[in-house]
Structure 1
Amino acid sequence: MSKEEDNKEAIADEQFAAEENAGQEVIDEVDEKEEITEEEKLKEELAAEKDKFLRLFAEFENYKRRTSKERIELFKTAGQDIMVSMLPVLDDFDRALNEISKSEDKELLKGVELISNKFRNTLNGKGLSLIAVKPGDAFDAEMHEAITQIPAPTDELKGRIVDVVEKGYTLGDKIIRHPKVVVGQ
């Protein structure tokens, strides 16, 4: 081989190596872009999973709060049916005390008062309370149940409660029986 052919061959080898290096650089750039896109994809997936986790956690916390509130409400009003069924007994005690007080037998009155007070205190301990209403109070349609209207005996009683026919009660914060009243017209 001649020197000239060796130079041509060396130049060809150099060009081949340069082209090969250039091709490798292009491949390296593509690999870097793929790595960046894979890294970005992983970051996006991680962000999506975090968001999903946070939403699920928030939903679970809301569920716990809601069920806890429902459970407390259930305990507060669990005895509502029993309390409602005991209200006529309280009314009977009131009527009995009213009639016995007219008689001369004070020992009977004292005994019935003791039983009535014990019964009331037991129900009050379970959350039952009387709605305080007296003649002359302002009528509130959300609180009171008007059973009739009569002409007001005085101008002051117009639109006000004239008489309380049946007492009202609450169990906790809930009204279980509205007081039945007569309203002046």
Structure 2
Amino acid sequence: MTKNKKVEKEIKEQEFQEEILLDKDSTENQDEIAQDENQEVQDEEVSLEVKLEKEVAELKEKYLRLYSDFENFRKRTAKERIEMISTASQELLVDLLPAVDDFERAFKANENEEDATKVLEGNRIVFQKLLKILNSKGLKPMEDMIGKPFDPDTQEAITQIPAPSEDMKGKVIDVIEKGYTLGDRVVRFAKVVTGA
């Protein structure tokens, strides 16, 4: 081998060695890059996991607060409802007291009164006052039922009697006890006699 060929061979071998080293460095660099990327992905996954755990903790806390607020609201409304039920009739009773006082005064006045018309007039005045108080609270008597068809939603038939005329069959002939409504709701059914 000539010296040039030998030098060329050595140069080629050296270049080959350098290429191998470069490839090795390149592979190591690629491995390092891949490891760095893997580490970044793992870091991102860990940070995402931590972030999700924080979110879950915050949502749990919000849920517990909301649940506590709801429980407090439920207890408060239950307490208010009990108080309202126990004092619901208080306003009506306070409004009825003047009528009770009038009845007491009428009883005292009637003890010595001999004129029945004065007693009757006094009783009528107190009765009208009582009705006015009840009407102001929404209690309304059922009126004008005689001659009208029987209504089972507002009336209770006590008995049936033979109808005085053919057109009175199935209609109210007499009212035994008045019915009352409070708003749209029946609080006492009218007790009536119907024609058969």
Query: Shorter chain as normaliser: what TM range?
Result: 0.5 to 0.7
Name which of 153, 168, 187 aligns with 1:157.
168
The match for 2:120 is 109
| Structure 1 residues 92-107: aligned runs within 5 Å | 106-107=117-118
Q: 1:20 corresponds to which letter in structure 2? A: E
TM-score (norm 2): 0.55
Write the deviation string for residues 12-70 of structure 1: whole angstroms up to 9, x where unpaired: 56654443233222222232244345545655776787788778878988998898889
Shift, 1:169, TM fit? 1.8
Q: Distance in 1 between matches of 2:129 and 2:20?
A: 121
Name which of 41, 50, 54 aligns with 1:29.
41
Q: Which one has the largest radius of gyration?
A: 2
Contact 1:133 1:164 in 2 (8 A): no
| Structure 1 residues 1-185: aligned runs within 5 Å | 15-39=27-51, 106-185=117-196
Q: Distance in 1 between matches of 2:195 and 2:173?
A: 6
Q: Distance in 2 between matches of 1:79 and 1:156?
A: 46
**What are the ranges of 5 or more consecutive residues in structure 2 without an aligned counterpart?**
1-15, 94-114
* Structure with bigger RCO (C-alpha 8 Å, 6+ apart): 1
Contact 2:147 2:171 in 1 (8 A): yes
**What are the ranges of 5 or more consecutive residues in structure 1 without an aligned counterpart?**
83-103
Identity %: 29
TM-score (norm 1): 0.58
Contact 1:134 1:164 in 2 (8 A): yes
- Aligned residue for 1:142, secondary structure, equals coil
Quote the RMSD (CA, aligned, Å): 4.7
